[in-house]
Each structure stands twice: as structure tokens, then as C-alpha cells.
Amino acid sequence: MKDYEVLNKIKELGICAIVRGTSADSLCRITDALIEGGVNAIEVTFNTPGAAGMIEELVKKYSDQMLIGAGTVLDAETARIAILSGASFILSPSLNLEMIRMSQRYSVLPVPGISTPTEAVVAWENGAKIVKVFPAGVFGPNYIKQLKGPLSQIDMMAVGAVSIDNFGDFIKAGACSAGIGGELVNKKLVEEGKFDEITRRAAAFVNAFKEVKNK
């Protein structure tokens, strides 16, 4: 899938589950729970031990059902490892131009992290078609609305403390999607084997996204 196709899919789905610090043994159960709840995009963060191998495994088993990306990618070297592992998109909490260039070299979608208008424009001028507004929960939905005023050409993903209570507000404010971590998949739920709760939360986010889009 080309980078522009991945971007369109992210915008269509509206929700990307962030999986951080889990074990390889739990990953497939998490993924099954997300799919059952209607969430079909997942990001494995690279501060998770064995992340590259986990992405490879997901690509082998779920590439026809799930959009699979890599997160917490801080540099071009890590981006290349993620790309060779099969990641379709690369997210970062920060703005690293070499990461963007490495992703583009392989026609993989870069999603650099930004927190200011200047960073958003720099990312855009260097080829990023979507940026990750982080930490979105600190700034609030109105911050994205204000950014989108002069920068309507740039798609924005809200990431960081996005919950079921504020998710709809971020989408209404102009975010095309959101990356959701602990409010969707958290360590305690996984350790307790409460995968049905992950499915329930996934379905709640999907329904919230549909409600905003259908208005």
C-alpha cells in the first residue's frame, strides 16, 4: 500500500490503537480484540522490547485486516528498521526531518510529531502530509481548531491523553484521526486478561467517530 493510500485509510478509520510495553504473547490477543471492536489500525511503539519482531508478526497474520504501523520512532535509523519489518506508517513524538525523508524513500507514510505552527509548516514543507499533534490532551481540542485555521491543508492526528470523553471533540475540532493508547489498550487490562473490555472500548471509540462523521 502506497503512502497516500495509507493516509486515506487512516482518515477513513479515524482511530489508531497505540500498543506500548506489551509482550509478543499478548499482542495477537490484543489485535483480535481490537478487530472485534472495529478498530483496524495499530501502532507498536519502538520503546517496546522486540517491537520490530512484533510488527513482522502482525504483518504476517493481520495485514489483510489491520493497518500496521510503528510508533515512538525518533530517527531515520529506527524508521528503516520499522519499514523493513513491514510497517505501513511511521509515527514520532517529535519532528525529525531525516525520519520523514527515510520514510518517503520507501513510500511509507511519515507522521512526525509537532506542537507548534512552525513545526507543522516545517514538516509540511519537508513532505509530511499528516502530522501528529502531541501531546493533544494537554493542548485540548481548541488548539487543533486554531492550528487548522491557517493550516487547513495539513491533516492532523491527535495523540496524547485522548479519551472517550474528549475524542469526539478532537474530531469536531478538525483532527482527521486520533492515536489512542491507555484509554484503549492498557497494561492492566492485558495482565488481567480483560480482552473483552478492550473490544468494548474499541467499539465505543468507533461509534463515537461515526457519530461525529454522520452529523
For the chain, domain boundaries: 3-209
**pTM listed for this prediction:** 0.95
Beta bridge partners of residue 45, listed in sequence order? 71
pLDDT at 16 over 80: yes
Of 133, 131, 129, 134, the C-alpha closest to 107 is 129
214: confidence class by pLDDT, cuts 50, 70, 90: confident
With pLDDT > 90 as the criterion, what percentage of the chain qualifies?
96
- What does the alpha-carbon distance between residue 20 and residue 2 come to, in Å, rounded to a whole number? 26
- What does the alpha-carbon distance between residue 137 and residue 14 come to, in Å, rounded to a whole number? 17
Q: What is the model's pLDDT at position 215?
A: 75
pLDDT at 1 over 90: no
The reply to whether omega before 135 is within 30° of 0 (cis) is yes
**Cβ-count burial 92-110 (b if 16+ within 10 Å, e if not):** bbbbbbebbebbeeeebbb
Q: What is the model's pLDDT at position 140?
A: 97
Catalytic (active-site) positions: 43, 132
Q: What is the model's pLDDT at position 3?
A: 96
CATH number, domain 3-209 = 3.20.20.70
52: cell is 520490530
58: confidence class by pLDDT, cuts 50, 70, 90: very high
